[in-house]
Amino acid sequence: MRRNYLLTALLTVATLLSTHVRAEVDPNFYVYLCIGQSNMEGQGEIEECDLSPNERFQMMSTLDCGTRKQGQWYHAVPPLARCNTNLCPADYFGRTMVDNLGEDKRVGVVVVAIGGIKIDLYDPDVWQSYVNSMTEGWQINSVNAYGGNPLKRLIECAKEAQKSGVIKGILLHQGESDAYNDAWLQSVKKVYENLLSELNLKAEDVPLIAGEVGGADQNGICSGANNTIDRLPRIIPTAHVVSSVGCTLQSDNLHFDSKGYRKLGRRYAKTMLQTMGIEADIDEDEVPQIDYSQPIDMTNRFTYCWNESESVTSENGVLVYKGVQWGGVACWLGSADWSEYAKLVFEFAEPTPIATQIFIQGNEDVKAWVNAGTESAECSFEGHDVSAVSQVALQAADAGIVKISRIYLLRQLSSDIHHTAMPGDEESREFLLNGQPAPQGYKGIIISKGKKVLRQ
């Protein structure tokens, strides 16, 4: 009798535990796996309008990157692949999906992509020999960032994603390297079917959406691959192809520019929505409005150090910089226009044990000294030319460990409007970019109701 009682109790506990686990899976959290080469990892400049996606759009980090940890979900602020990548099709795919699904729906992406690779990287039987044949250091480093086996990392993260959401599709952008014959079609079919098998998915529930490479209309140097890519639905009944016609390219005629990525990502979303029976009216060329009231977080873009003896890691959401004298933890920007910002702010998790210096490199170098024992520091741009910032760093005046909780940009009007607007009148007033009230009849760019508009 006692034995039966104990058995019943154990079964009850087991049932409760299993019910609890199942309850954590949100059927309204739609997850999409994104794989490919350089255009999927993202080569478009991350512009200001790209930095404030809907909170319902999330990304799972597939590796440790800045304060992001592998296997965890985050607000999908680009970059989505790795710390040193840029805007990619998944960015505007996710944003467009949440814009056209109910408010109760969330969208998550899991991105594993490496520039220049062939489809063989995702083939369970040949990936190892393919990796062994690589000779380019940058490519080998990218593979190593995924633990030496990007396919395994993708599957690991996908299984982790299944604990909180439901995989609804696979996005592919690959082919510049090898999509020129029927062998590529068969390889993609094998990769797709292997992912379905590994993750216990059904093809009819998880369509494959493949994007064309840069087209002939844009003088794309790999446009010939589209002849093969377009035939994919003949081999895979649940595959769909997204056109790249009109998606603009960078000067290399290979990678899409930011505008091109936005258009292509929206087309991925439109196609995915169609598979769900949703016909969405999507403006492919819309440039998102910028919310000028919000700071721009830069924390996860500080990814490298100036000296090999230095390091930057993440511990519990804090950047831990182990510096040497006159070394630096840095962020590469290329040529970013910061003219509309007022300052760059560092917030430290602990008072800094050493003196440091904020260093901004561009048309004009801008510096700000930070004393030891400081809890936060800022570098003002007033009177300086920051129209082409190439690199930003926090330099160490001596060897030591600096823990950084947040790095962000503040716009010029964020504090000025607060002081110049009359109480209760903020919504109706208009301001210049420097935060001062716009004169009556002024023509040019102004801030109206917190948004930048052109008054003519």
CA distance 31 to 169: 7
Q: Residues, the chain, total? A: 456
Domains, the chain, with CATH or none: 23-275 (3.40.50.1110), 296-411 (2.60.120.260), 414-455 (no CATH)
Q: What b/e string do you get for 128-149 counting C-beta neighbours within 10 Å, with b at 16 or more?
A: eebbeebeeeebeebbebbeeb
Q: Is 234 exposed, middle or buried (0-12, 13-18, 19+ CB in 10 A)?
A: exposed
Hey, which residues does 348 pair with through a beta bridge? Answer: 404
Which of 255, 257, 258, 416 is catalytic? The answer is: 255
* 398 a catalytic residue: no
Strand partners, 73: 60
Name the active-site residue from 38, 142, 177, 244. 38
Note the helical H segments in 162-282.
Answer: 182-198, 226-229, 232-235, 258-275
Neighbouring CB atoms inside 10 A of 392's CB total 26
pLDDT tens-digit profile, the chain (456 residues): 444 444 444 444 444 443 333 448 999 999 999 999 999 999 999 888 898 899 999 999 999 988 888 999 999 999 999 988 999 999 999 999 999 999 999 999 999 999 999 999 999 999 999 999 999 999 999 999 999 999 999 999 999 999 999 999 999 999 999 999 999 999 999 999 999 999 999 999 999 999 999 999 999 999 999 999 999 999 999 999 999 999 999 999 999 999 999 999 999 999 999 999 999 999 999 888 777 777 888 898 898 899 999 999 888 889 999 999 999 999 988 888 888 889 999 999 999 999 999 999 999 999 999 999 999 999 999 999 999 999 999 999 999 999 999 999 998 754 443 333 333 444 455 665 545 566 666 555 566 665 556 565
Q: Which of 104, 125, 252, 425 is catalytic?
A: 252
Distance from the Cα of residue 129 to its chain's centroid? 30
Helix (H, G, I), strand (E, B) or coil at 170: strand
Neighbouring residues of 440: CB distance < 8 A, sequence distance ≥ 6: none
d(CA 377, CA 337): 21
The rounded distance, in Å, linking the Cα atoms of 109 and 78 is: 12
In the residue annotation, 252 being an active-site residue is answered as yes
State the Rg of the chain over Cα. 24
